[in-house]
Amino acid sequence: MPVLQTLELGDPRLRQPAQPVDQIAAPEIQALLGDLWDTLDDFRQRHGWGRALAAPVVGVALRVVVLTYETQRLVLINPRFESWSRTQTVEYERCIAFGSIWGQVYRPERVVVVAEDAAGAAQRFDVDGELARLIQHEIDHLDGLVWLDREPDLATICTAGERARQRTAQPPTG
């Protein structure tokens, strides 16, 4: 299965809402899932990061996400929110479509999301923390949004190089 080209920020296809998938068992949808996994795995191998890939990020306007979290490999087809927590958290994010930029984004701490899996079975995720953030970032892609649209504090936006420097900086002592 081919590794697909990931789009870069500025490509108008990243700002286009994606369509629901009707026939999950269709060969072209199953082939797309294979291609998304191959593309994500290839990206991780080449760049050392990247945990999820939404179909619009490879220019396919369908509501399909593949996601790795700890030891899980999840497929979310037609994901939708059942609920959000009122409480928000703020964390740094970056995106495969513009990985050289980081910024702090506020998002609900906990979400309940329903979606179909690769076999068309219903799944429900009641999640918080990193996984909740990751799923929200990916569903944004299905709606034609990137994290910059989530009103990050502009003063927190930094380059990957600067972010790495900040993370390795020694904490002040004594």
Q: How far is the CB of 137 from Zn ion (least distance, A)?
A: 5
**122: β partners:** 116
- Closer CB to Zn ion, 95 or 135, in the complex: 95
Answer for the pair 62, 22: CB distance below 8 angstroms, yes or no: no
Q: What does the alpha-carbon distance between residue 96 and residue 11 come to, in Å, rounded to a whole number?
A: 13
Q: What does the alpha-carbon distance between residue 91 and residue 148 come to, in Å, rounded to a whole number?
A: 13
Helix (H) or strand (E) holding 138: helix 129-142
Pairing of β 64-69 and β 122-128: unpaired
Q: What does the alpha-carbon distance between residue 142 and residue 12 come to, in Å, rounded to a whole number?
A: 13
Give residues in contact with Zn ion (CB under 5 A).
95
Residue 138 among the catalytic residues = yes
Q: How far is the CB of 51 from Zn ion (least distance, A)?
A: 10
Q: How far is the CB of 108 from Zn ion (least distance, A)?
A: 17
Q: What does the alpha-carbon distance between residue 31 and residue 4 come to, in Å, rounded to a whole number?
A: 12
Q: How far is the CB of 39 from Zn ion (least distance, A)?
A: 13
- Closer CB to Zn ion, 77 or 95, in the complex: 95
Q: Which residue is nearest to Zn ion (CB)?
A: 95
- Closer CB to Zn ion, 118 or 133, in the complex: 133
Q: What does the alpha-carbon distance between residue 65 and residue 67 come to, in Å, rounded to a whole number?
A: 6
- Closer CB to Zn ion, 95 or 115, in the complex: 95
Annotated active-site residue in 70, 93, 138, 151: 138
Which positions are catalytic? 138
